[in-house]
Amino acid sequence: MILQHKNAVIYGAGGSLGGAVAKAFAKAGARVFLTGRRIGSIQKVADEIAGFGGKAEVALVDGYDENAVAEHLEQVRRAAGSVDISYNAVDIPVLQNIALTDMSIDDYVRPVTQTATTRFLTASAAAKLMIEQRSGVILSVTATPGGIGYPYTGGFAAANAAIESLARNLASELGSYGVRVVNIRSGGSPDSAVFKEAIEKFPDIMKGVLHGMEEDTMLKKLPSLADIANTAVFLASDMAASITGVTVDVTSGTTAALNYRVKLATLGRDPNP
């Protein structure tokens, strides 16, 4: 229970990644405050947490509304005594699989602006409280295009780069107050909602897509939601007390190097032991 006595606020908690992280926090002992714009999805996550004995509370909060975010955080502080962890998983629609030269400026800029807006609002609001507490952890999550050139990812790549820059700079400003800021870079999880929906609609196409993504990795497999959530638990805990201002790579090695040329067989090993 490495997050026992910690209070965690999750934005976009009704989504697959937000929900996975919320449940992992709760299993680790944290009291979680789930927010989103649809009560049904976040209540479902809260019910699952209650089912295994965790503590969860829900509230309708728009992650783009500065006043709503600040008011909710103050409510959490009054009710729980502190805000120890802040994590934003608000989903941002983005156009991909199209060349940058064929994309409109609006389609490229929109996800960058939306992502920067909600991440900045929630992180800066949490930071103000954490400065007073002189403790706290602000977490964020990006994806592979935030670390390497990745074709046909449109504004998604720039949005990821913006989040990683925000995390570094905010960490540099908050460190002297005992507040840590850490980003997690994921490689895309096949068990996330967006992948599941795509697999259901286009099973043959997605089989090839996923195989290609797996081949890009060093471990020849993509990280699961549990991999990301477990990393978030560790980084939010006191076990990671000296980790701040960095992006922790959980892409199975993709951003260290695209590894599609390396095959187990070329190393003299049986690819199917």
Average of per-residue pLDDT values in the chain: 93
- Residue among 245, 234, 243, 248 at smallest CA distance from 6: 234
For the segment 165-174, what is each residue's pLDDT rounded down to a tens digit?
A: 999 999 999 9
Q: Quickly count: other Cβ atoms within 10 Å of residue 47's Cβ.
A: 11
- pLDDT score, position 73: 98
Average pLDDT over residues 65-74: 98
Q: What is the model's pTM?
A: 0.92
Cα separation, 115 vs 260, whole angstroms: 30
For position 38, what pLDDT does the model report? 92
Q: According to the model, what pLDDT value does residue 209 have?
A: 86
Handedness of CA 122, 233, 27, 29 (dihedral sign): negative
Confidence of residue 150 (pLDDT cuts 50, 70, 90): confident
Per-domain boundaries in the chain: 7-189+224-255
Given this model, what pLDDT does residue 57 score? 98
- Measured CA to CA, the distance from residue 16 to residue 254 in angstroms comes to 22
Could you tell me the strand order of the sheet in which 55-60 lies?
A: 55-60, 31-36, 7-11, 85-88, 136-143, 179-186, 247-250
The amino acid at 164: E
- Domain range 7-189+224-255, CATH class: alpha beta
Q: Report the 10 Å Cβ neighbour count for 141.
A: 23
Which residue, 81, 163, 156, 68, is CA-closest to 120?
163
Count of other CB atoms within 10 angstroms of residue 74: 13
- In the structure encoding, which two tokens stand for residue 209, read together? 């897509």
* pLDDT score of 266 more than 90: no
pLDDT confidence bin for 272, thresholds 50/70/90: low
How much is the pLDDT for 262? Answer: 66
**Mean pLDDT value across residues 109-127:** 97
Residue 239 CA, distance from chain mean position: 19
Q: pLDDT by residue (tens digit) across 207-219?
A: 888 888 888 899 9
Question: How many Å apart are CA 179 and CA 153, to the nearest integer?
Answer: 32
Q: Rounded mean pLDDT of 25-34? A: 98
In percent, how much of the chain has pLDDT > 70? 95
Q: Which residues contact 27 (CB under 8 A, 6 or more apart)?
A: 52, 54
pLDDT over 90 (residue 6):
yes
pLDDT confidence of residue 190: 87
